[in-house]
Amino acid sequence: AQSVTQPDIHITVSEGASLELRCNYSYGATPYLFWYVQSPGQGLQLLLKYFSGDTLVQGIKGFEAEFKRSQSSFNLRKPSVHWSDAAEYFCAVEPRYGSSNTGKLIFGQGTTLQVKP
Amino acid sequence: SAVISQKPSRDICQRGTSLTIQCQVDSQVTMMFWYRQQPGQSLTLIATANQGSEATYESGFVIDKFPISRPNLTFSTLTVSNMSPEDSSIYLCSVTGYNEQFFGPGTRLTVL
């Protein structure tokens, strides 16, 4: 069955430190891959997405993610974390059937990021 | 991008009652989706709502509990029927467009 795993439930980093959030997926082919952020009381915001091509994708708010097919991973990174980055981060995959996308997302469990001053 | 609004934004309901959540999109879309986010949990897809056909439900979700309407290409409703405290969740509407999924702000439901 298709699944998404975010091994880290909770991460705490100091402001200005680098960040890496892990995401592994289980799927027979390369799905579409996404990272979303959900701030307290806010909706989901798309940070970045990967469909094909360059395996290093740039997103909003200074985030980037690297797709590694051999590891079935799509880890999110940021060189220097800001206090406003404290939020819940979700990795998601969209299964594909042939050349068609389904529009359905399978989400990981989420990682809560806490930023220390 | 697609702008999605949901009504109500939150509600507190008594067990055994039903609540209908509305989702309005500012553009015509083919596929609309309903997700549930239980407290402290991730999002789980409930069903896909396509205009002109019955909704398609994911495993673990049934039409009698979560009836869905899709009368046109910009609007959908999700009803949570015969509610119990376990239905306390955030319910989110989503649409696909521009190779991206857009989410509504969610409806926070508390069942007492």
CB contact under 8 A, B48 and A104: yes
- For chain A, the average pLDDT equals 91
Q: Give the count of domains, chain A.
A: 1
Radius of gyration, CA atoms only, chain B: 13
- Enter the tokens of residue B37: 């986010």
Residue type, A67: F
Chain B residues closer than 8 Å to A90 by CB: 42-43
Put simply, whether B6 touches A (Cβ < 8 Å) is: no
**Nearest CA among A105, A69, A60 for reference residue A87:** A60
CB contact under 8 A, B42 and A103: no
Residue type, B93: C
Closest in B99, B101, B104 to A105, CB measured: B101
User: Which residues 33-62 in chain B show a CB within 8 A of chain A?
Assistant: 33, 35, 41-45, 48
Task: Going from the first residue of chain B to its last (112 residues), give the mean pLDDT of each consecutive group of 10, the final group possibly shorter.
Answer: 92 97 94 93 93 90 96 95 97 87 94 96
* pLDDT per residue as tens digits for the range A16-72: 999 999 999 987 777 899 999 998 777 899 999 998 888 999 999 999 999 999 999
Closest in B41, B99, B106 to A43, CB measured: B106
- For the segment A70-81, the average pLDDT, to the nearest whole number, is 96
User: What is the CATH number for A107?
Assistant: 2.60.40.10
Put simply, whether A43 touches B (Cβ < 8 Å) is: yes
Residue type, A26: S
Put simply, whether A44 touches B (Cβ < 8 Å) is: yes
- Supply the range of the domain harboring residue B100: 4-108
Residue A99 has pLDDT above 70, yes or no: no
The three-state (H, E, C) secondary structure of B50-112, written as one string: ECCCCCEECCCCCCCCCCEEEEECCEEEEEECCCCHHHCEEEEEEEEECCEEEECCCEEEEEC
User: What is the CATH number for B49?
Assistant: 2.60.40.10
> What percent of chain A has a predicted confidence (pLDDT) above 70?
96
Q: Give the count of domains, chain B.
A: 1
Confidence of residue A75 (pLDDT cuts 50, 70, 90): very high
Chain B residues closer than 8 Å to A109 by CB: 41-42
Give the per-residue pLDDT at B93: 96
Chain A residues closer than 8 Å to B45 by CB: 104-106
- Supply the range of the domain harboring residue A104: 3-116
